[in-house]
Structure 1
Amino acid sequence: MMVQASQRTIPLFALAAAASVVSALCIGAFPVGFDQLLAAIGLSSAPLDDTTAAVLYAIRAPRVVAAFAVGAALAAGGAAMQSLFRNPLADPGLLGVSSGAALAAVSVIVLGEKVFHIVPPGLRPWGLPVAAFLGGLVATIVVYRIAAHEGVTLVGTLLLAGIAINALASAGIGMLVFVADEQQLRTLIFWTMGGFGAVTWTAIAPALLVLVISIPTLLPSAHLLDALALGEREAGHIGVDVERLKRRLVAQVALAVGAGVAISGIVGFVGLIAPHIVRLLLGPGHRTLLPAAALFGGAFLVLADALARTMVAPAELPIGILTALVGGPFFLWLLAGRAARGNL
């Protein structure tokens, strides 16, 4: 009964996510009325001038779609990683996955012109998301290998390995920023703090396609993650191929997070906050946790982006600053709670 009740709340999360998208489409330095939004999608006969149509179709819609997809990827990936490591502090950003993806993506931005001349023109838009995926995958594998000892994931080692990967990636990004030209530097400074200001349909199409494919692939693993919560040995006794599940989840999370980083740059703590809040509301069952976390994370980042582009308008605040302001205290609260229970 508890599981069925939790599953019935998924439409409520979907409704809240839809409300956040509608709000973000209307809110901004150039306000758009709800009747104009309905007219833009053919549900109203209200007049729609060319300027409003251009703002909605070319500027606001792609960044809202991108924000929702990236938030959903980070939240679903965070929920999967917390289950994989059996630790609620696991997060793509804290464990270096986002930083590894960012380092690879920055390398493409700064050095890509030197090698892209040998790549067919039709494949060049895929360079950034593919590089980000590979960077996130390598970072995830390194962190997992360091933290796993005799079948047990050491929490302290996990966090320290993530800190080390983040530091190394930051150093690499710093070196690339140093050698970048002025045009690349302007792109990198904002991009490394996270943001959707440069989003266009053409620019995000490859990474968005990857996200649309990769996020739903996490859902069929829900029952396997429920079994893994009992422990690796216990999950193996009931027929779960634990090592195969680990490899698949690592690749899926790296793919989703890498594609997200390729669109928005580094946006931290979404993968930590969303799964925790949803788990408190609905419980630990992954059949509801994964889709609800994805919806919550998407809505959260959409609203954060709307706030980022309105707080200091006409300028724009990097969205990574906002998520850090929320996520930093949240993470400290989690650490304090686990330390008090002796689980750190």
Structure 2
Amino acid sequence: MTTRTAAPAGPVAGPAATVRPAARRGGVWWLPAAVVALVATVLVAVTIGPADLSVGDVAASVAGHLGLGGVLGLEPLGTLQDGMVWQLRLPRVLTAAAVGAGLAVCGVVMQSLTRNPLADPYLLGLSSGASLGAVLVLVAGLTVLLPVAAFVGAVAALVAALTLAGAIGTITPTRTVLAGLAVSQLAAAATSFVIFWSATGDSYREILSWLMGSVAGATWTSVAVTGIAVLVLGTLLASSGSVLDAFTFGDTAAAALGVPVARVRWLLLVGVALLTGALVSQSGSIGFVGLILPHAVRMLTGARHRLLLPLSALCGASFLVWADTLARTVFAPREVPVGIVTAAIGAPVFALLLWKGRRIA
């Protein structure tokens, strides 16, 4: 098991502080395009698989379960096809979309708050904390408690990181990153010890699948947990665009603009932790989405957060849906964890961004 780390933030803002005028003028048109792309992505992704389904079949199944089939004049699907759409594929696709959207928003917020271009939603040890909680219940055979344990572990990691940063002195971006790194390494070491000491038989496969990230077991409960978390916490985070614009130029500049720096930072960090914890509890640790998507979207729109946040959410949702579609189809009938796919795509993309000389550090 590997743990990604991020370099401490320097004095210069990591995310690009300047906005290209052309990108800012045309950027607003990316939003409706991204909405259309996401809807098309969900509909098409549900049809992909061993069974032969069409977009019309998906529409008929959804309309039937919503009580609109008769109104729209759609023929009901057979039991088998309807079960494939409604019970298997659609919950998985919607969960992947919600997780991708939430991780992308959290990545934008973390990169702005810490002024660190390598920040992602897991920077403060959230992933390692969630992994420790999940592994503890898996080795104990209490799989039903996995989402709760992962969420509690993520929140506990945040509390530990912020407590450590506060004990050092005033909470600054650099101290926050370093404290998160310490908590992450400690939780990762504890996770490895638990696996080494206690995991036996099939529990190894369950643990490995969860640590690599997967939405294979998604249900409508998963859709409800991730969807509500994104709608509530994600919307609150996405509404902080003007505040994050101020943070981009540093705490002093933000305070001069009337932003209560300490209180806002705490609130946003807690919001990121709660949202990340809810997402990780259903999908495991899926890397690179919250790191790569914000940088990719900045190349299209510039660094203004009012556009960057919602567009990152839409692009993150589409990206993870396609990544999960690849994970379940490329090696069919075998399936790989989606975290492997996001890493395989994310690492070369990040290298490409560096090679093109874009200012992301």
Map of 2:39 onto structure 1: 18
Q: How does 1:106-117 map to 2 (within 5 A)?
A: 106-111=135-140, 113=142
Are positions 1:169 and 2:187 aligned together? yes
Map of 1:79 onto structure 2: 108
Aligned length: 331
How has the CA–CA distance of structure 1 residues 209 and 266 changed in structure 2, closer, same or farther, with 3 Å as cutoff? same
Check the 8 A contact 1:126/1:207 in 2, yes or no.
no
Are positions 1:7 and 2:28 aligned together? yes
1:184 deviation in Å?
Answer: 3.6
1:315 deviation in Å?
Answer: 1.1
How has the CA–CA distance of structure 1 residues 31 and 145 changed in structure 2, closer, same or farther, with 3 Å as cutoff? farther
Q: Letter of the aligned partner of 1:40 in structure 2?
A: S
Are positions 1:54 and 2:73 aligned together? no
Q: How does 1:173-322 map to 2 (within 5 A)?
A: 173-178=191-196, 179-202=198-221, 205-322=224-341
How has the CA–CA distance of structure 1 residues 62 and 94 changed in structure 2, closer, same or farther, with 3 Å as cutoff? same
Distance in 2 of aligned mates of 1:69 and 1:233: 35
**What percentage of residue pairs aligned between the two structures are identical?**
40
Distance in 2 of aligned mates of 1:290 and 1:274: 10
Which one of 27, 42, 50 corresponds to residue 48 of structure 2? 27
Q: Letter of the aligned partner of 1:53 in structure 2?
A: D
Check the 8 A contact 1:71/1:297 in 2, yes or no.
yes
Check the 8 A contact 1:69/1:208 in 2, yes or no.
yes
Q: Letter of the aligned partner of 2:133 in structure 1?
A: A
List alignment gaps of at least 5 residues for structure 1.
Answer: 117-123
Distance in 2 of aligned mates of 1:177 and 1:208: 31
How has the CA–CA distance of structure 1 residues 168 and 204 changed in structure 2, closer, same or farther, with 3 Å as cutoff? farther
Q: Letter of the aligned partner of 1:9 in structure 2?
A: W
Distance in 2 of aligned mates of 1:299 and 1:63: 13
Q: Letter of the aligned partner of 2:187 in structure 1?
A: A
Q: Letter of the aligned partner of 1:39 in structure 2?
A: A
Q: Letter of the aligned partner of 1:16 in structure 2?
A: A
Map of 2:149 onto structure 1: 128
Q: Letter of the aligned partner of 1:76 in structure 2?
A: V
Question: Superposition RMSD on alpha carbons, in Å?
Answer: 3.2
2:212 counterpart SS class = coil
Map of 1:121 onto structure 2: none
How has the CA–CA distance of structure 1 residues 307 and 144 changed in structure 2, closer, same or farther, with 3 Å as cutoff? farther
1:39 deviation in Å?
Answer: 1.4
How has the CA–CA distance of structure 1 residues 99 and 29 changed in structure 2, closer, same or farther, with 3 Å as cutoff? farther
1:185 deviation in Å?
Answer: 3.3
1:125 deviation in Å?
Answer: 8.2
Are positions 1:64 and 2:93 aligned together? yes
How has the CA–CA distance of structure 1 residues 281 and 144 changed in structure 2, closer, same or farther, with 3 Å as cutoff? farther
How has the CA–CA distance of structure 1 residues 35 and 93 changed in structure 2, closer, same or farther, with 3 Å as cutoff? same
Map of 1:38 onto structure 2: 59
1:329 deviation in Å?
Answer: 3.1
Distance in 2 of aligned mates of 1:335 and 1:154: 23
How has the CA–CA distance of structure 1 residues 207 and 69 changed in structure 2, closer, same or farther, with 3 Å as cutoff? closer
Check the 8 A contact 1:102/1:262 in 2, yes or no.
no
Check the 8 A contact 2:130/2:149 in 1, yes or no.
no
Q: Letter of the aligned partner of 2:190 in structure 1?
A: G
1:226 deviation in Å?
Answer: 0.9
List alignment gaps of at least 5 residues for structure 2.
Answer: 1-20, 64-71
Deviation by residue 1:80-133 (Cα, 9 ceiling, x = unmatched): 00110112211124553322222223334444859x9xxxxxxx6872354144
1:48 deviation in Å?
Answer: 1.6
Distance in 2 of aligned mates of 1:183 and 1:62: 25
How has the CA–CA distance of structure 1 residues 316 and 44 changed in structure 2, closer, same or farther, with 3 Å as cutoff? farther
Deviation by residue 1:162-204 (Cα, 9 ceiling, x = unmatched): 6554443332222232313545433212111111111122355
Distance in 1 of aligned mates of 2:150 and 2:171: 32
